[in-house]
Chain A
Amino acid sequence: MVVSGVLVVVALPLLAVVVVLAAVVAGRRRSARLVFDSEAYPGLVALRRSTIALRWTGVVVGILAGVAVIGVGPLAPLAFASPLVAGIVAVAALLVGQQLSYSGARSRGSAGVETRRLRDYVPVGLARRVGAATGVLLTVCLFLVIAASPDDLGRPGRALTAAWVEHRWVADQAGVLQRDDAFHSGATSPFPGSFYVPAVLGALALLLALSVLGLWLTARRPRNGGDPELVRVDDALRRITAEGIVAAAGAGIAGGVLALSVVAYTRFGQFPQVPVHVACSYLGALVALGALASTLAFATTLLVPGNGNRR
C-alpha cells in the first residue's frame, strides 16, 4: 500500500530524527532541574525518575505501536489513526509511570488541609493549542469524508475521483473548425474518506478520554500536603506530568492531521486539470506544514520536560 509505504519508509523515521534533534536543541533551553534534598525525600526521587523516564519509553513504544497498526487488517483501516495510537500509548506510559510511584509523595496518617484543582496543574496555553489541533482534525476529517468517493470495487469513502472536460477544436473536411470536447474522468485511492475516518475519530475519542482521565488522576493522587517542601516538589512533578499528557495528546492529534493532510495533498495533486483539486492540494500542503510544525513542537515539549514551575 502506497500510504503505509511512504509513512513507514520515509515520514516516520524522518519525523523521529527531527523530533530528537529538536528535543536535544530545546533541551538545553528547558533543562533547569527540579532541585530538592534527595536524601530527605527518597520517594520524590523515585517519583521524579518515573515521571520523566517513562515518557521516553512511552514515545518509543508509541512509535512502534503506531507503525504496527498501519498494516493491521485488510486495506489497513487503521493507517491514518496511527499517530493517535502512538499518542494513546505515550499518555498511557505517563500514567503508568505516575501510578507506579506516587506513593513517594505520601505519608500515611499525614495530610494538609488543601484543595487540589485540575487548573492548578494543566498548562492552559498548551491545552488551548491541543483544542485548536482537535478542531482542525475534525474539520479535515469532515472535509475529506465529503470529498471522498467509492473506489473501483464500490467501497465507500476510499477513493478520490475527478471529472473534467478537455476543450478541443478539430478541422472538418471543409476546413471549418468544429468543437470536439473530450470528457475525462479519473480516480485515485486509497484516500482518507469515510473508510478510514471512523478509526481516526475512535482513536481521537480514546486519546482525549485517556488524557482527561490522566489529568484528573494527576491532580487527585494523594500526598502529604502538610510538608511545604514536599508540596513544592510534588506540585512541580504534577505540572510536569500534566504538561507531558497534554503534549502527548497534542502530538498524536497534530500527527493525525499531518498524515491526513499529506495524503490529501498528494491525492488532490494527481488531478492538475481540475482547478478545485489543485486548490485543495495547495490547501492540504499548507495544513500539512502547520501540522508538521505543531507535531514537532508538541513532541519536543513531551520529550524535554520543563522544571515544573508555574507559568
Chain B
Amino acid sequence: MTFAVRVDASDPTPPYEQLRRQLAGAIRGGTLASGTRLPTVRQLAADLGLATGTVMRAYGELEASGLVVTRRGQGTVVADLRSDAVGVRLGGLADRFIADAVAAGAGPAEVRAAIDAALSRRGA
C-alpha cells in the first residue's frame, strides 16, 4: 500500500513543512521502512503541483534530521534508524519541541532553560 501525502493550500503551515511532517511521521511510525526509496523531487513536486524547491526543502530538512539519506545514483532513501535509533528519535523530538516553542514565542535561551528545568525536576 502506497503511503499518501497531502498538501493543503488553505493551511497556514508552509507546504514544505506539511510535507516534512507527514514524511517524518511515516518514517518514525514505520510506515515508510528503512531503505524505502522516496520519489524524485521532480516527480513528487509534479504530483503535488508544488515547486521543486518546496519538495527539495522538505527533503533537506528530513536529511538534516537523519531520517533520509541521499546517495548518488540511488536517490533519496529512508535511513536505517536502528543504527542510531535513540539519537534520531531525540533529534526528531527536539525538532518538534523547538518548532512548537518558537511558535509560542520562545527564544533559544528560553528553550534551553526549559529543557534544563525539566531535567532538574526529574533529578537528572
Q: Shortest CB–CB separation between residue B17 and chain A, in angstroms?
A: 15
Q: Shortest CB–CB separation between residue A228 and chain B, in angstroms?
A: 7
Instruction: Answer yes or no: A231 CB below 8 A from chain B CBs.
Output: yes
Query: Does A109 contact B8, Cβ atoms closer than 8 Å?
Result: yes
Instruction: Answer yes or no: B32 CB below 8 A from chain A CBs.
Output: yes
- For A222, what are the chain B residues with a Cβ–Cβ distance below 8 Å? 43, 46-47, 49
Query: Does B48 contact A108, Cβ atoms closer than 8 Å?
Result: yes
Interface string of A91-115 (1 = CB under 8 A from B): 0000000000000001011111111
Neighbour of B6 across the interface among A110, A115, A116, CB < 8 A: A110
Known: A225-B2, A231-B2. A111 touches B47 (CB 8 A): yes
Q: Shortest CB–CB separation between residue B54 and chain A, in angstroms?
A: 12
Query: Does B32 contact A220, Cβ atoms closer than 8 Å?
Result: no
Instruction: Answer yes or no: A226 CB below 8 A from chain B CBs.
Output: yes
Query: Does A116 contact B43, Cβ atoms closer than 8 Å?
Result: yes
Known: A114-B2, A226-B2. A109 touches B39 (CB 8 A): no
Neighbour of A226 across the interface among B4, B32, B42, CB < 8 A: B4
Which residue of chain A is the closest to B55 with respect to CB atoms? A111
Query: Does B37 contact A225, Cβ atoms closer than 8 Å?
Result: no
Which residue of chain A is the closest to B32 with respect to CB atoms? A113
Instruction: Answer yes or no: A223 CB below 8 A from chain B CBs.
Output: yes
Known: A115-B39, A223-B47. A109 touches B9 (CB 8 A): yes
In the assembly, what is the distance between CA of A223 and CA of B43, in Å? 9
Instruction: Answer yes or no: B7 CB below 8 A from chain A CBs.
Output: yes
Query: Does B43 contact A113, Cβ atoms closer than 8 Å?
Result: no
Query: Does A224 contact B47, Cβ atoms closer than 8 Å?
Result: yes
Query: Does A111 contact B8, Cβ atoms closer than 8 Å?
Result: no
Query: Does A220 contact B43, Cβ atoms closer than 8 Å?
Result: yes
Known: A225-B2, A228-B1, A231-B2. A113 touches B48 (CB 8 A): no
Instruction: Answer yes or no: B79 CB below 8 A from chain A CBs.
Output: no
Query: Does A113 contact B23, Cβ atoms closer than 8 Å?
Result: yes
Neighbour of B39 across the interface among A108, A113, A227, A231, CB < 8 A: A113
Query: Does A109 contact B48, Cβ atoms closer than 8 Å?
Result: yes
Known: A113-B32, A220-B43. A225 touches B48 (CB 8 A): no
Query: Does A111 contact B5, Cβ atoms closer than 8 Å?
Result: yes
Q: Which of B1-35 contact A (CB under 8 A)?
A: 1-9, 23, 26, 32
| Most A-side CB within 10 Å, residue of B6, B26, B47, B75 | B47
Instruction: Answer yes or no: B44 CB below 8 A from chain A CBs.
Output: yes
In the assembly, what is the distance between CA of A110 and CA of B8, in Å? 9
Query: Does B3 contact A113, Cβ atoms closer than 8 Å?
Result: yes
Q: Shortest CB–CB separation between residue B78 and chain A, in angstroms?
A: 10
Which residue of chain A is the closest to B4 with respect to CB atoms? A226
Instruction: Answer yes or no: B38 CB below 8 A from chain A CBs.
Output: yes
Known: A116-B43, A226-B5, A228-B2. A109 touches B38 (CB 8 A): no
Interface residues of B (CB under 8 A from A): 1-9, 23, 26, 32, 36-40, 42-44, 46-49, 75
Those 4 A-B pairs whose CB atoms lie nearest each other, nearest first: A226-B4, A111-B47, A112-B2, A222-B46
Interface residues of A (CB under 8 A from B): 106, 108-116, 220-228, 231
